[in-house]
Structure 1
Amino acid sequence: MIKAGYNRIIGLGICITLIFIFTGCGEFIGNKTVIKLAHGLDTSHPVHEAMLFMAERAKKKSNGSLEIDIYPNQQLGTEREALELLQIGSLGMTKVSTGVLENFVPSLKVFGLPFLFRDREHRFKVLESELGEKFLNDGLGKRLKGLTFYDAGSRSFYGKKPMDSPEDLEGLKLRVMESNTAMNMVQMLGGSPTPIAWGELYTALQQGIVDGAENNLPSFYLSRHYEVCKYYMVDEHTSPPDELLISTLVWNKLSEKEKEWLKEAAMESSEHEKKLWREAELEALEEIQKAGVKVTYLDKEDFREMVQPMYEEFSKDPEMKKIIDAIQAIK
């Protein structure tokens, strides 16, 4: 009896949660459409600010008939969980790193290749090209439609021990995203890759579960990881963008006009985010140095040589080689 009562309570809790999620993911109230957008970032993050900007633009374009409710800080789950909710239509939109998205859309694992882009300008040219639009649509078969990319800068390593060269990564337990490409890269550099949810990483660093991690400057600063890790090694090994997605189950219910408003608002927010990101990078660099973090700039050629086998492995797949060649051909 006790067990049966307990199970009923658990079942009721699950039902209440599902009702909360389902109502509003793409809800149509009279002449108003409300879409829920969930993500894992802090509210002070430039990408969160860009999504707020998008919501404002969509509301203005639609004269208030299209609203986007945003739930930050993993309120509705991790990045992977948010993607799974999109696939069943229980959540309308999300923002995830392409590093996580590669588990659902294999072509995006190309963004995990170290030193794929020549520089920041080249990265934007790729993302804003016809090839970039193809990447946004590659998830349609998985009920995931990309609306735009957000700049997520370049990722570098940081930790609790001095980091002055690639050799300093040897034997370190390093947190990575849930990405096979990222895990392979860390292994190639001599480290021990450890996938941990972003929201759990601060505690994992504190408790010594991992020795360090890799991420961009604003994320390192805004997560306050600099309180635990006093060494940041600027190698800028990868630049996987963030991607804003909508469930096709929700997208297909929108009118053509709503689709137009939403796509325009997303693209405008992407342009707005570029400026926010640059400002956030400069602020983060200044603030972590004030907090006593030692920032080291490395010769990237040392890293390039160590990860070259990843390109050789990727090139064994004809389709992946074609994608890499197309990216490198963009001038």
Structure 2
Amino acid sequence: MSKIRLMQARKAFWILLFSIAIAVSCSGPSDVRVIKMGHALVTSHPVHEAMLFLAKRVEEKSGGKLKIKVYPNQQLGTERELVELLQIGSLGMTKVSSAALEGFAPMMQVLGVPFLFRDDEHLTKVLRGEIGKKLLLDGEKYWLRGLCYYDAGKRSFYSKEKPIESPEDLKGLKVRVMESNMATNMVRAMGGSPTPVAYGELYTALQQGIVDGAENNPPSLYTSKHYEVCGYYSLDEHTALPDVVIVSTKVWNSLSPQEQEWLQEAADESADYQYELWAASTKKSLEELEKAGVVISYPDKEPFRKAVSAVYESLKTEQPEIYEIIQEIQEIQ
């Protein structure tokens, strides 16, 4: 069986499995509703801890009438497969990078624009303001509703053979990117060769030389153990893509107004908790990476900014609606 057919068969299997289990996904005993929540990260990741906190608060707020069961580490599928399961209502919730939502919520592309945010305060104002709230609901017509944002730090390049000190160092390198047009265009503008690889397959892809490097935040680099293959981490901090906690609109609409309120409140509280976890995890991850022998560098960001100016220009002419949001974001003080 070819690799493509195998992937198609696996996907069909998961869809069938969860379609059969749909009643279990959103209900339990007659007086208890259980929402299944899957994600692709390991249990040591701060995002997983935040999801457990979310589940705890939902149960507390509802007096046990509404519960969330969390399935980590791709137990229920890859990030994209989980999103597709949400669309058909066979899975209740997941966490996804805003970049991975581009195909379902087109306006989310704006959050992946490189060097868009001035600093952490600017980013927080955008995400928790009107723009952020509108973006959370942009995928509703695709049966995906955003509940809140989780901090996913700043993404930087890590590599096997040499540090990425300037865009010139990316030339000739195959760099793993998410399935995101924005990420693809960014790496290409910097001179690299963007190569989409599923997160769960990246360690092997690095080992086998399918890709020469990747880009991600410190906690993900550390918890994934990609540093065992990549000895260089160059903190150019090109993007600050948040994670998004999403719920299937099919599941959301099946909840009573009270249940929706419990879920939204718990999600917002988990976001506050996750921001604290993330800050501590980033500090610890960088310390542990240094202990492991990873060469961490802080290259001048200006050459990287200049390299992606073409991305902004193309958005101005090809996607004016995205460029308009960029301007609104830049005006926020």
Q: How far has the Cα of 1:270 moved from its partner?
A: 0.2
Mapped partners of 1:144, 1:18: distance in 2: 17
Aligned to 1:42: 42
Report if aligned partners of 2:14, 2:77 keep a CA contact under 8 Å in 1.
no
Deviation digits for residues 139-166 of structure 1 (CA, Å, limit 9, x no counterpart) = 1111100000000000000011111322
Deviation digits for residues 71-109 of structure 1 (CA, Å, limit 9, x no counterpart) = 111111111111111111011111100111011111011
Q: How far has the Cα of 1:14 moved from its partner?
A: 6.8
Deviation digits for residues 45-64 of structure 1 (CA, Å, limit 9, x no counterpart) = 11111111000000000001
Aligned to 1:210: 211
Report if aligned partners of 2:18, 2:91 keep a CA contact under 8 Å in 1.
no
**Cα distance change of structure 1 residues 21 and 40 upon mapping to structure 2, 3 Å threshold:** farther
Q: How far has the Cα of 1:24 moved from its partner?
A: 2.5
Mapped partners of 1:246, 1:13: distance in 2: 22
Mapped partners of 1:191, 1:15: distance in 2: 35
Report if aligned partners of 2:219, 2:282 keep a CA contact under 8 Å in 1.
yes
Mapped partners of 1:208, 1:20: distance in 2: 39
Mapped partners of 2:261, 2:14: distance in 1: 35
Opposite residue 90 of structure 2, the aligned amino acid is S
Question: SS of the residue aligned with 2:114?
Answer: coil
RMSD of aligned residue pairs (Cα, Å): 1.6
Opposite residue 328 of structure 2, the aligned amino acid is A
TM-score by length of 1: 0.94
Q: How does 1:1-331 map to 2 (within 5 A)?
A: 17-18=17-18, 21-163=21-163, 164-316=165-317, 317-331=319-333
Structure 1, unaligned runs of 5 or more: 1-9
Mapped partners of 2:70, 2:167: distance in 1: 39
Question: SS of the residue aligned with 1:323?
Answer: helix
Question: SS of the residue aligned with 2:211?
Answer: coil
Q: How far has the Cα of 1:17 moved from its partner?
A: 2.3
Mapped partners of 2:78, 2:233: distance in 1: 25
Q: How far has the Cα of 1:20 moved from its partner?
A: 5.8
Opposite residue 169 of structure 2, the aligned amino acid is D
**Cα distance change of structure 1 residues 210 and 21 upon mapping to structure 2, 3 Å threshold:** farther
Aligned to 1:5: none
Mapped partners of 2:265, 2:294: distance in 1: 40
Larger Rg: 1
Q: How far has the Cα of 1:319 moved from its partner?
A: 1.4
Mapped partners of 2:14, 2:123: distance in 1: 42
**Cα distance change of structure 1 residues 227 and 261 upon mapping to structure 2, 3 Å threshold:** same
Mapped partners of 1:296, 1:37: distance in 2: 37
Structure 2, unaligned runs of 5 or more: 1-9
Q: How far has the Cα of 1:137 moved from its partner?
A: 0.6
Tell me how many residue pairs correspond in the alignment: 321
TM-score by length of 2: 0.93
Aligned to 1:3: none
Q: How far has the Cα of 1:29 moved from its partner?
A: 2.7
Mapped partners of 1:15, 1:109: distance in 2: 27
Aligned to 2:4: none
Deviation digits for residues 152-207 of structure 1 (CA, Å, limit 9, x no counterpart) = 00000001111132211111011000111111111111111111110110011111
Question: SS of the residue aligned with 1:25?
Answer: helix
Question: SS of the residue aligned with 1:315?
Answer: helix
The 4+ residue runs of structure 1 with deviation greater than 4 A are 12-16
Opposite residue 287 of structure 2, the aligned amino acid is E
Report if aligned partners of 2:15, 2:85 keep a CA contact under 8 Å in 1.
no
Mapped partners of 2:193, 2:268: distance in 1: 38
Mapped partners of 1:318, 1:205: distance in 2: 37
Q: Which moved more, 1:92-101 or 1:12-21?
A: 12-21
Report if aligned partners of 2:136, 2:147 keep a CA contact under 8 Å in 1.
yes
Question: SS of the residue aligned with 2:75?
Answer: coil
